[in-house]
Structure 1
């Protein structure tokens, strides 16, 4: 399967979601109630009939107590991730784009590259309880606000914070900001 074939990725996410839901003996209704994503939408995701948003995927992974990238797991023992190639997940307004670096469902750590468009702010869903987010700026400058406290980072600066708290990313420049993000789940 080509990782950059959007239809194959959508089908893969649907198959993984269905497998995880059934392993937990959950109905679509059970998962809908836990996640806040409608039963109809969950069914469409499982059948590969819709491309879920990043917000939906966060809600689903959080309700299943799994890392986000577990929904994209291929089970391969060796992974290679090249910038700009492969899977890209966009936020609802397309100002925030994430490229998973590793997609191993058994890990409690995820890595991704994130791109924030010029003059924009991204407000992510609060992550799983007790999740730590470690962010390193690869290019550009960004202000990351955690619990209403702003922190300005320049290239190669890093920050670590509890991601289950309110946080946001703001790019006030005219250039795309590139970030390397590690999520350590405490689940």
Structure 2
């Protein structure tokens, strides 16, 4: 029972840091938006703080989140495999639609059609904080994702991952992918 407050504080800290960095906010930015000190926010993010409900509401409001988003047991994963055919099948007159990913956040996006030769590797040091990628395998076989968390893809499979850390693409065969890169919109 004694571990519950510590576990809750740690979970809140992870959630606050995740949602703050996903919005490309510094601790100082969040401090200004909440009226809390950087020291208090740093303690909360490290799991050492014991924030009041009022403090959590202030943070949630500044991050444009419901309070529950800071209390959830798990933060959204930074890598998500999307196997071919996943998502609910919605029949249309022309075929079937599968929603693979939806996102209501304002973002800047780029879409690339990339070919890789058998055995080649392309690495990236990581993009701007908060950048995400969705890689859809059209042909061949490859692994893509953050270093050490690469996901094996075959035609029709996709992977979503946080692309603000080092990541790579390793072609196990001649391969072709669509690479959708989504950047956060800078705060005005």
TM class by shorter chain equals 0.3 to 0.5
Q: TM-score, normalised by structure 1?
A: 0.40
Larger radius of gyration: 2
Q: Give the structure-2-normalised TM-score.
A: 0.40
Q: Choose between structure 1 and 2 for higher RCO, CA contacts under 8 A separated by at least 6 residues.
A: 2
